[in-house]
A and B are shown apart, each in its own frame.
Chain A
Amino acid sequence: MTAQALEQRELAVVIGLEVHVQLETATKIFCSCSTEPAEDEEPNTRVCPVCLGLPGALPVLNEAAVESAVKIGKALNADIAEDTRFHRKNYYYPDLPKNFQITQYDAPICADGTLEVSVEGTRRDIGITRAHLEEDPGSLQHKGGSIDTADYTLVNYNRAGTPLVEIVTEPDFRSPQETRAFLAKLEEVLEYLGVFDATRDGSLRIDANISLVPADEVDDDGSISDEALEAANRTEVKNISSHKGAEKALAYEVTRQKNAIKRGRAVEQETRHWDESRGITVSMRSKEEEKDYRYFREADLPPLQVAHWKEEIPIPELPDARRERFHTEYGIDEESASKLTSTKEVADFFEDVAAEFDADLAATWVADNLLGELNYRDMHITDVSDRLDEFTRLVELVDADEVTTKNAEEIVLREMLDEGKDPDTIVDEEGLGKADDDEIGGFVQEAIDENPDAVEDYHNGEGGALNFLVGQVMQKSKGSADPGTVNQLLRERLDE
């Protein structure tokens, strides 16, 4: 540390994350209980001797969880360990059925990866230290108060044994915004891999380590010496459950730490709890009280050699690569390409539509019309994935000029989503089939016959009269006429 006092120096933010991801496997990590909560599930019903930690029960590793971890490792450009094994993390807590957690310690399944994030056009690689498998504890309900003041606490082990991957980053984040961008990106990648369901409650849980270091200790490439990192006191913020929450909690923590330093107080090295409802972090325990977890090998689970799975287990094209390909292969602008790759399901849907039509038409219909209407209805692409044929038929009707774009957008698509009908039925019922020229000719004659004043105005050179008559014809055709054709036919008749 230089002679200059910390409170007078420009400060830079240093953040590292530990992200717990619930894996979307059918069964729990060490038993065959389902990971999927039943509707209106009673507490402690989705359990067995293994996930309850009954005396004598033994864990048996779920291969699907290991496969998911290997996929995550591949997507994060991480190394998959030649030898990986499980340890026990020993601590007494009522949500732990065995009063230890089976996790990984000195040989995590994935290590040394990266994930690129982009904030306001600036791209940065965030280092991934490790990603390891572990079991989720049960959940606690504090009755009549918070964790400290409750009259009593209820334990529910339904969640116990859900497979988790804990992803630990390097202290590479330089702002709360970057953590949010990283978490959004990570979630996108995990969903593409099909190992994660963001809609599940508690599927993503985040702990963040944050400290402030003198800005002049940060090199141009964003790196910071280990000495500077060691010198700074950091806090660990727990109980963050979303990207937004991470940004808010860390922004709060940056301000809190800066204020402390400004007032010449040291930042306490401690664990803090993010209170989402109050928007503040509160102290949980100081570093001195930190636990000794007495890690040691879990002998009930034999070591694993799964490095070769990296070659054997395929992963899908990831969002960045797909975005880039949509841009180059289909010539789609970046904004649409981003929308179309927001989830794997949207991108797959688009590519199925684009296989049949011009890419621009497909992009407009999927990225703008469909996603817009779905979003308005709080629906997701997965709600219509099985209606690809109907949607393709709608685009085909437009492409073949059989329905006007306006009717297709405003009537057919909306009714498809609201009433679940197929496009041909809607076109029939609503009489939206494009009118032919004879039919339009009839409407034109009717409009002329019914509006002698307008005809006279037209002949007197009033431009608005023609537009009025076009509107009359369009009304009669219920929008099924092409306005250009109507315009041309009216002129021909009026000028005869």
Chain B
Amino acid sequence: MSLNAFITKETLDGSDDGPLSGKTVAVKDNISTEGLRTTCGSAMLEDYVPPYDATVVELLKDAGATIVGKANMDEFGMGTTTETSAFGPTKNPVDESRVPGGSSGGSAAAVAAGEADLALGTDTGGSIRCPAAFCGVVGIKPTYGLVSRYGLVAYANSLEQIGPIAPTVEDAAALLDVIAGPDDRDGTTRDAGADSNYAAAADGDVEGLTIGVPTEFVEGADEGVEEAFWAALDELEAQGAEYREVSMPSVEKAVAAYYVIAMSEASSNLARFDGVRYGKSGGYDGNWNEAFARAREEGFGSEVKRRILLGTYALSAGYHDKYYAKAQDARAWVKQDFDEAFEDVDVVASPTMPVPPFELGESLDDPLQMYLADANTVPVNLANLPAISVPAGETDGLPVGLQLIGPKFGEETIVRAASAVEN
């Protein structure tokens, strides 16, 4: 039985020679590929074929990678399970009755099942790290501004980054080496980190590394997940690292702040899908607004509609200060908490997901429960920081991921620490 990891299976060959030559790569279907449809997991873009390549796709081709298809995802990245895809859910290769996580579930499942050597995912609030953890592979969410977003169909543009998913830390780091660096077409990219060698940093040397563990990130986690987490930290300690508890009170507000900001931005980013140039268009009676409404009603799934409606509400006159402005304050507070933590520690560690993979269908009826599962991943996006999820044991035969968060452009540090976890 197919895992349904891909929305579109098609091979795009890269250049003859390069660091990724001979490697197959799955590309999440919200990353534009010239001449190859890019659906974002949405019926709205079922037939949309971009006329241009995203910067990261150009870089993959230049590096000699062979793209093997467009990976399944939650519609426009809005989900934690890949079940909101208009193209059906993807199954977790570790246990096909479970979800692969999301929203980059197709990317992680393809790598875990060996359907691709590597994959690109995108991470707005955990969408690389969650499926990496659920599928037992490695995923990196880079610092905001390290990887060009040109060609990434925006969900929440102040939060998201494209990043690698791979079977090992070194492979993920090598893919990051290919895609990282400033881009004239993305004004938010920065020079910092451009000269780094992430693959070389995967040397497993954690001697003297200080790890902070925020109590807020561990409390409330599933018991089996917590056990695996502490076991991984003990293992790191045995290799020369030390860990201590730190407190980050702001993270209590992180999920609320994240969803207000992400939904607000989504309500604007997805406004262009109005049936005129994309989606089901034409044949509607009434004026423009009525035709737009019909096209959007038909083209979007219910989770996308929920987020657009809530985001529109949060930005509206009279509610803007109560929701959007407050969320921005909380975001600043989260950044500040991380800044303070990094004065004392080199990396911050937590379970990537507080729970093991859900059963297929389990969480669809309870969106709030699904949102709360993002508690440990969203603070990283709010603070624009890099983080990696690396497999750290199992609970009841299901994978557990360890999340290591670094300071801005501290990808080498988290790669080094994560490679020690693999030892």
Interface residues of A (CB under 8 A from B): 49, 53-61, 88, 90, 92-94, 97-100, 155, 292, 294-297, 299-302
Contacts and interface: CB of A to CB of B under 8 A. Distances in A.
Interface stretch (B60-68, B268-276, B410-418): B268-276
Contact of B272 (A97, A155, A297, A300): A97
B143 to A, nearest CB: 15
A56 B268 contact: no
Nearest to B31: A56
B50 A300 contact: no
A99 B316 contact: no
A297 B327 CA distance: 13
Contacts of B320: 294, 296
A189 to B, nearest CB: 30
- Count chain A CB atoms within 10 A of each CB in B186, B268, B316 and give the residue with the most: B268
- Count chain A CB atoms within 10 A of each CB in B38, B50, B158, B185 and give the residue with the most: B185
Nearest to B293: A92
13 contacts: A49-B50, A49-B52, A55-B45, A55-B278, A56-B154, A61-B187, A92-B274, A94-B276, A97-B272, A99-B272, A99-B274, A294-B320, A299-B158
Given A90-B315, A92-B292, A299-B158, A56 B272 contact: no
Given A55-B40, A294-B315, A296-B264, A92 B51 contact: no
A53 B278 CA distance: 12
A56 B316 CA distance: 25
A58 B186 contact: yes
- Count chain B CB atoms within 10 A of each CB in A54, A59, A94, A292 and give the residue with the most: A54
Contacts of A292: 316-317
B376 interface: no
Contacts of A300: 157, 186-188
Interface of B: 30-32, 38, 40, 45, 48, 50-52, 54, 149-154, 157-158, 184-188, 264-265, 267-268, 271-272, 274, 276, 278, 288-289, 292, 312, 315-317, 320, 324
B52 A54 contact: yes
A176 B32 CA distance: 52
A177 B50 CA distance: 52
A55 B272 contact: yes
A5 to B, nearest CB: 34
B187 A302 contact: yes
B271 A60 contact: no
B272 A60 contact: no
B184 A90 contact: no
Given A55-B272, A57-B52, A299-B188, 5 more contacts: A56-B151, A58-B185, A155-B276, A299-B265, A300-B187
Interface of B (DSSP majority class): loop
A60 B189 CA distance: 11
B316 A57 contact: no
Contacts of B30: 56
Given A55-B40, A302-B187, A99 B271 contact: yes
Nearest to B38: A55
- Count chain A CB atoms within 10 A of each CB in B31, B48, B272, B274 and give the residue with the most: B272
Given A55-B32, A59-B187, A302-B187, A296 B268 contact: yes
Contacts of B315: 90, 294-296
A294 B263 CA distance: 13
Contacts of B312: 294
A53 B272 contact: yes
Nearest to B76: A55
A296 B266 CA distance: 12
B50 A56 contact: yes
A-B CB proximity, top 3 nearest = A299-B158, A99-B271, A294-B315
Contacts of B54: 56
A295 B51 CA distance: 30
B271 A90 contact: yes
A61 B186 CA distance: 10
A295 B158 CA distance: 15
Contacts of A90: 267-268, 271, 315
Contacts of B188: 299-300, 302
A46 B105 CA distance: 38
A154 to B, nearest CB: 11
A88 B51 contact: no
A88 B154 CA distance: 14
B51 A54 contact: yes
A57 B150 contact: yes
A55 B154 CA distance: 7
- Count chain B CB atoms within 10 A of each CB in A54, A58, A90, A295 and give the residue with the most: A58
Contacts of B185: 58, 60
A100 B272 CA distance: 8
B157 to A, nearest CB: 5
Nearest to A54: B50
B271 A100 contact: yes
Contacts of B38: 55-56
A58 B187 contact: yes
Contacts of B150: 56-58
Given A60-B186, A294-B316, A299-B188, A92 B289 contact: yes
A100 B268 contact: yes
A14 B70 CA distance: 60
Contact of A98 (B32, B272, B324): B272
B51 A49 contact: yes
A58 B48 CA distance: 18
B282 to A, nearest CB: 10
B268 A88 contact: yes
Nearest to A293: B317
B297 to A, nearest CB: 14
Contacts of A49: 50-52
B268 A294 contact: yes
B324 A92 contact: no
- Count chain A CB atoms within 10 A of each CB in B149, B187, B324 and give the residue with the most: B187
A302 to B, nearest CB: 6
B310 to A, nearest CB: 13
A301 B187 contact: yes
A81 B332 CA distance: 23
A301 B31 CA distance: 20
Contact of B157 (A60, A99, A299): A299
A93 B271 CA distance: 10
A88 B324 CA distance: 14
A29 to B, nearest CB: 12
Contacts of B265: 296, 299
A54 B150 CA distance: 11
B184 A60 contact: yes
Contacts of A54: 32, 50-52
A55 B278 CA distance: 10
A140 to B, nearest CB: 10
B22 to A, nearest CB: 28
A230 B150 CA distance: 46
A11 to B, nearest CB: 32
Given A55-B272, A294-B312, A94 B157 contact: no
A302 B186 CA distance: 10
Contacts of B324: 296
Contacts of A98: 271-272
Nearest to B318: A292
A55 B50 contact: yes
A92 B268 contact: no
Nearest to A99: B271
A136 to B, nearest CB: 17
Contacts of A302: 187-188
A100 B30 CA distance: 21
B32 A56 contact: yes
Nearest to A91: B271
B271 A92 contact: yes
A93 B276 CA distance: 11
A97 B272 CA distance: 7
A434 B19 CA distance: 84
Contacts of B272: 53, 55, 97-99
A317 B272 CA distance: 45
Nearest to A90: B268
Contacts of A55: 32, 38, 40, 45, 48, 50, 153-154, 272, 278
